[in-house]
Amino acid sequence: MKEISEHFELKFYEVLKHKISIQEFEQWVYKTKELESELPESTYTDLISLNYSNKYAHNELGKIIEPFIDNSKFEIKRISKYLESIIDKDEKCAESIEMTYELYCSGYAFLRRLGLTYGLLISCPPAGNYQKSWNEITKAEQDELLDKLYPEIIFDAKNALGWINEGKIVIKDAVNDLGDYEYDDLRNQEEIKQGEIEVIDLDKEK
């Protein structure tokens, strides 16, 4: 990876991950004069001469800026943010719980317990005789479901966050054939077991 300031690296990461539009990125490039001194001359020239309205622009942009991005660093921050949201039970905790299921399905097998035990319940919450989406159930039903997941989910989220912070889950700046980020799993057998799925009895009284 070629070294640039973290602020610029973050902006590159955001456009590649569709967190900002390519049009927003284009305007940022034109008005950020510091990029010219930060980047190699050929790279800066490629950025300001790219046809951002072309339907293949995002792919072409990726070829230009990918060498400057350490994706693993931002993946760690992204996952940690979701886990911290769950632990704090903040206003976005339901979204964060649901994301653990999406992350598990994206190849992060160490989130198996969080994703399949809790995240799947938020993604497809039980309601009556059929399943609805989270936004289709009432606020009362949302609160009731969250109450059934807490406080146990905090323990599991702290486990996962601890594995990341202690270097037992090491995300690489490389993807596999499916496009998922590879990672090294350095957990011991007891910790691996802690990350396995548990079936929750939602009818069980607290």
pLDDT given for residue 197 in this prediction: 84
End-to-end CA distance of the chain: 50
For residues 31 and 93, state if they share a domain. no
For residues 58 and 103, state if they share a domain. no
pLDDT given for residue 129 in this prediction: 47
Which of 68, 99, 120 terminates a domain? The answer is 68
Which of 45, 68, 91 terminates a domain? The answer is 68
For residues 29 and 104, state if they share a domain. no
Evaluate whether residue 199 is within a structural domain.
Answer: no
For residues 81 and 168, state if they share a domain. yes
Q: Is the dihedral of CA 164, 170, 175, 176 positive or negative?
A: negative
pTM value?
0.82
Which of 68, 99, 122 terminates a domain? The answer is 68
pLDDT given for residue 167 in this prediction: 97
Evaluate whether residue 201 is within a structural domain.
Answer: no
For residues 36 and 138, state if they share a domain. no
Would you state the structure tokens that stand for residue 133, as one six-digit string? 């989406």
For residues 58 and 75, state if they share a domain. no
Evaluate whether residue 177 is within a structural domain.
Answer: yes
Evaluate whether residue 200 is within a structural domain.
Answer: no
Element (H, E) at 175: strand 169-175
For residues 26 and 98, state if they share a domain. no
For residues 40 and 98, state if they share a domain. no
For residues 142 and 93, state if they share a domain. yes
Structural domain harbouring 86: 71-194
pLDDT given for residue 125 in this prediction: 86
pLDDT given for residue 35 in this prediction: 95
Among residues 41, 17, 15, the alpha carbon closest in space to that of 28 is found at 15
Q: What is the pLDDT of residues 133-188, one digit of tens each?
A: 899 899 999 999 999 999 999 999 999 999 999 999 999 988 888 888 899 999 99
For residues 79 and 63, state if they share a domain. no
pLDDT given for residue 199 in this prediction: 66
Evaluate whether residue 40 is within a structural domain.
Answer: yes
Evaluate whether residue 204 is within a structural domain.
Answer: no
Evaluate whether residue 41 is within a structural domain.
Answer: yes
For residues 15 and 105, state if they share a domain. no
pLDDT-flagged residues of the chain (< 70): 1, 127-131, 199-206
Evaluate whether residue 168 is within a structural domain.
Answer: yes
Among residues 74, 77, 79, the alpha carbon closest in space to that of 157 is found at 79
Among residues 98, 107, 80, the alpha carbon closest in space to that of 164 is found at 80
Give the chain's domain count: 2
For residues 14 and 31, state if they share a domain. yes
